[in-house]
Structure 1
Amino acid sequence: MTGAVSPRRADTRRNHERILAVAAESLARSAELSFNAIAKAAEVGVGTVYRHFPTPEALILAVYRRELQHLVEVVPRLLAEHPPEDAFRRWVSGYLAHYMITKRGLADAMTHATKSPGRMPADTYDALVGAVAALVDANVTAGTVRADLNPETVLRGLGGLFYLSPAEHWQEHAADLTDLLWRGMRSD
Structure 2
Amino acid sequence: MNDSDEGAGRTARSKRADARRNEETLLEAAAAVFVASGVEAPVRDIAAKAGVGMGTIYRHFPTRADLIIAVYRHQVEALAEAGPGLLATSPTPHAALGRWIDLFVDFLVTKHGLAAVLRSDDAGFDTLHAYFIDRLVPVCAQLLEAAADAGEIRSDVDAYGLMRGVGNLCIGADHDPRYDARRMVELLVAGLRQSRPT
Shared fold per TM-score greater than 0.5? yes
| Letter of the 1:177 counterpart | L
SS of the counterpart of 1:115?
coil
The answer to whether the 8 A contact 2:39-2:68 is kept is no
Residue 190 of structure 2: aligned partner: 179
Structure 2: give runs of 5+ residues left out of the alignment.
1-5
Q: How many Å separate the matches in 2 of 1:164 and 1:95?
A: 18
1:19 to 2:26 alignment: yes
**2:72 paired residue number:** 64
CA displacement at 1:36 relative to structure 2 = 5.8
- How many residues were matched structurally? 182
* Alignment equivalent of 1:84, drawn from 84, 90, 93: 93
Correspondence list, 1:34-53, <5 A: 34-35=42-43, 38-39=46-47, 42-53=50-61
**Corresponding residue for 2:3?**
none
Q: Distance in 1 between matches of 2:92 and 2:49?
A: 40
What secondary structure is seen at the aligned counterpart in 2 of 1:32? Answer: coil
Distance 1:187 1:155 in 2: 25
Question: Cα 1:46–1:4, aligned 2, differ >3 Å: closer, same or farther?
Answer: same
* Contact 2:98/2:189, CA 8 A, preserved across alignment: yes
Structure 1's unaligned 5+ residue stretches are none
Identical aligned residues as a percent:
32
Which structure is higher in RCO with an 8 Å CA cutoff and minimum separation 6?
Answer: 1
Cα contact 2:39–2:113 (8 A) shared by 1: yes
Structure with greater Cα Rg: 2
Cα distance in 2 for partners of 1:116, 1:172 equals: 33
Distance 2:183 2:41 in 1: 32
2:121: which partner in 1? 116
* CA-atom RMSD in angstroms: 3.4
Aligned amino acid, residue 179 of structure 1:
A
CA distance in 2, matches of 1:186, 1:157: 21
